[in-house]
Amino acid sequence: MPSIRLPTPDGLQDFALSAPRDFPRATPPFPRVALAAAHVVADPLAEQDPWLEAKLDWDRTIAFRKHLWSLGLGVAEAMDTAQRGMGLDWAAAQQLIRLSLDAAKDVPGAVLASGAGTDHLAPGPDVTVEDVIRAYEEQCAAVEGMGGRIILMASRALAKAARGPDDYVRVYDRILSQVKEPVIIHWLGEMFDPALAGYWGHADHMQAMEVALEVIAAHADKVDGVKISLLDDRKEIAMRRRLPKGVRMYTGDDFNYAELIAGDEHGHSDALLGIFDPIAPAVGGALAALSRNDLSSFHDILAPTVPLSRHIFKAPTRFYKTGVVFMAWLNGHQDHFVMVGGQQSTRSIQHFAELFRLADRAGLLRDPELAVARMRQLLALHGVA
């Protein structure tokens, strides 16, 4: 196996790679619903202002979704992993959803759900709750008009306009009463997006949870599930145990997903995770093991991915997307490490070096020679010979 000299806090050190793991393959249905929030591939050759425009390589972007489907995972489209509201605007998101829905038609059993939010409405002092409702209605109608299933995203505009919990109840009551099919509600915590602090009308997550549970209970027939992204397994379990019958908990906890998916005597979480994008082969293998009631193999496969995930999602957590795309580049899913908005610059070379080591230990560098060659390119760019 190849080796490479990588930076550490103590200087450059040799690192010998391991052989990639051969994860078991299986096809759904699995005992858990597993949706990967998929990244987008930027077009590095497009004429653009990278901080202001998002030009995508549509072929590579859709090819990655087919890769996820081939491993038995579903795709959560146009979410924050795709830099939605963080470089990818609503016009590009609509095109992304449309192309993914078209691609899914050619993949038997492909599962796809798409984000609908209010990101085309800029938060501001003059934005009202009624403006937020109209923005949600516009995006929900667009996704439903394309034949898509809705993930109801958290709204920065609502977080700015709301004066208390009643405004959240009002908005979600209106939207949930209108949707055609049950949706997945996404509660994205402030660690992922600081503009969403105080969501549901409370800074305290447990008080906020009461409001969310009130909304869900009132519209249980219109809620397939709720995804919470608070990076706190205790809060997720507390909410999971109080959901109405038939409403799923989709873990958004990129720190504790293995235990939450495995579950306990009171239940389990399904999953809608950004980390499933770079660790998809391991997830497919783990779900195959779970299908055989082989919890030992399930944990054996996922346990080494958890340190990798915690590193990718370390604070500032909103920069996790850089690690996701870095992994896609290392594994040959794209030919460059360029991101929408130039976000490849949000992590340090020390961060990338540790990510490389952790990915190897998890058996997730599928072509070690290619991964080493690309890591050397990045090191050279940072002045490391």
Angle separating helix axes 305-312 and 349-361, nearest 10 degrees: 160
Assign residue 231 a region: left if phi > 0, alpha if psi is -120 to 50, beta otherwise? left
Q: Are 236 and 260 in contact (CB under 8 A)?
A: yes
Give the pTM.
0.96
Taking 70 as the pLDDT cut, the residues of the chain under it are: none
Q: Are 30 and 291 in contact (CB under 8 A)?
A: yes
Assign residue 31 a region: left if phi > 0, alpha if psi is -120 to 50, beta otherwise? alpha
* pLDDT recorded at residue 267: 96
Q: Between β-strands 11-16 and 248-251, what pairing exists: parallel, antiparallel or unpaired?
A: unpaired
* pLDDT recorded at residue 137: 98
Closest CA to 206 of 172, 242, 259: 242
252 three-state secondary structure:
coil
* pLDDT recorded at residue 385: 72
Closest CA to 271 of 72, 21, 39, 109: 72
Name the CATH architecture for the domain at 29-303. Alpha-Beta Barrel (3.20)
Residue 273: strand pairing partners? 36
Q: Show the tokens assigned to 227.
A: 């995804």
Q: Are 366 and 16 in contact (CB under 8 A)?
A: no
Q: Read off the amino acid at residue 49.
A: D
Find out whether the peptide bond into 29 is cis, omega within 30 degrees of 0: yes
Q: Where are the alpha helices (DSSP H) in 41-126?
A: 58-70, 90-104
Separation between Cα atoms, residue 365 and residue 373, nearest integer Å: 12
* pLDDT recorded at residue 128: 98
Q: Read off the amino acid at residue 207.
A: Q
* pLDDT recorded at residue 235: 98
- The owner of tokens 């500032």 is 316
pLDDT digits (tens, 9 = 90+) for 117-133: 999 999 999 999 999 99
